Amino acid sequence: MEVLLKGLQSIAEPTRLRVLGLCAHAELTVSELVQILGQSQPRVSRHLKLLMEAGLLERHQEGNWAYFRLSDNQPCSELARLVIDLIPADDPKLALDFQRLENIKEERARKAQEYFRKNASDWHEIRSLHIDTSSIEAAFQETLLQEPVKELLDIGTGTGRVLELVSGEVGSIVGLDISREMLAIARNNIDRAGLTNCQVRQGDMYQIPFGNARFDAVCLNMVLHYALDPRMCLREAARVIKPGGRLILVDFAPHRMDSLRDDHAHHWLGFDDKQIEEFCDDAGLTLSDPEHLPGDPLTVCIWTARRDPNTE
């Protein structure tokens, strides 16, 4: 009862209701909310503090920036969604808020596209070396969605493609990446597609910023070849998987394309099944039969491993 009353008291103020509605549509910084609401930074920060204390919003740090969004797992999360559904769509003040929010999203898109234009040649060059991307994505989707997934973690999310692929079939997804530039692209893609069950976080694959046994499934899609220490990476991934949950790995089979190491910062020229099995064993995961998708000259593999249901 006290939690509910605190949540209702926190919402029952015009600006905080506006903030709640905005954060239901996008992750926003204080400066972006100041720009949308037309209020001072201290005043906006005060409203955010009260909403967080009530468990209606959550905050995550990304470099020097803090982003705010609706909370997912707090006692008042359902209350927040219920109130947002009741907000009148024809309110003039709220309509102006959302118009300004679209301006924010357009500026994000411009910056993300500028970065992508400068770096797109790398992605296109690598993609041309293996089978078509659509076949890999279809195989990945089929593998992941063989079982229901309530919460998914995509490590090394990059542009957020995995989030776009499976958001309609998964309860909620977190995309993790160390690069703020990549997160800007992913966040723009999430905004554009209206993927309200998806979010992105800045974080290191060796120090994942989540507690033990949080996710039903974790995936690393074309990420492991960048890892200096794949063994440590998979240990950390296994830590956040629930007992009985799965790890999905998509990466290259062994190859001899040194240019990927020299020009694209790949630390590993692919992995064989035995290597992946050893990494999984070390992480407390049991590997299933892999799937190989032959290409010329690169073959892509999908490995699935499961955490023992009886582990703590």
Measured N-to-C along each axis, helices 41-53 and 30-37 cross at an angle, to the nearest 10 degrees, of 110
pTM value? 0.76
Question: What per-residue confidence (pLDDT) applies to 12?
Answer: 82
Question: What per-residue confidence (pLDDT) applies to 77?
Answer: 75
With cut-offs at 50, 70 and 90, classify the pLDDT of residue 82. confident
Is the pLDDT confidence value at 120 over 60? Answer: no
CATH topology of domain 1-108: Arc Repressor Mutant, subunit A (1.10.10)
Where helices occur in 194-294 by DSSP H, the ranges are: 230-239, 258-264, 273-283
pLDDT (tens digit, 9 = 90+) per residue, 280-301? Answer: 999 999 999 999 999 878 899 9
Is the pLDDT confidence value at 66 over 90? Answer: no
Give me the residue spans of the domains in the chain. 1-108, 133-307
The pLDDT of 200-215, averaged and rounded, is: 94
Mean pLDDT of the chain: 87
Quote the CA–CA distance of 270 and 295 in Å, as a whole number. Answer: 13
Question: What per-residue confidence (pLDDT) applies to 115?
Answer: 55
Q: Which of 14-23, 48-57, 168-177, 262-271 bottoms out in mean pLDDT, i.e. has the lowest?
A: 262-271
The torsion defined by the Cα of 280, 286, 288 and 290, in degrees rounded to 10, comes to 0
Residue 45: DSSP 8-state: H
The pLDDT of 140-163, averaged and rounded, is: 95
With cut-offs at 50, 70 and 90, classify the pLDDT of residue 121. low
Question: What per-residue confidence (pLDDT) applies to 126?
Answer: 61
With cut-offs at 50, 70 and 90, classify the pLDDT of residue 149. very high
Of 59, 74, 72, 53, nearest in space to 29 by CA:
59
Q: Please, are residues 48 and 33 in contact by the beta-carbon 8 Å criterion?
A: yes
Q: Percent of the chain scored above 90 by pLDDT? A: 52
Coil vs helix vs strand at 207 = strand
Quote the CA–CA distance of 190 and 165 in Å, as a whole number. Answer: 11
Question: What per-residue confidence (pLDDT) applies to 288?
Answer: 94
Question: What per-residue confidence (pLDDT) applies to 177?
Answer: 92
Quote the CA–CA distance of 188 and 104 in Å, as a whole number. Answer: 10
Q: Span 133-307: which CATH code?
A: 3.40.50.150
3-state helix, strand, coil split of the chain in percent (to 5) is 50, 20, 30
pLDDT (tens digit, 9 = 90+) per residue, 247-292? Answer: 999 999 998 888 887 777 788 889 999 999 999 999 999 999 999 9
With cut-offs at 50, 70 and 90, classify the pLDDT of residue 117. low
The pLDDT of 54-74, averaged and rounded, is: 81
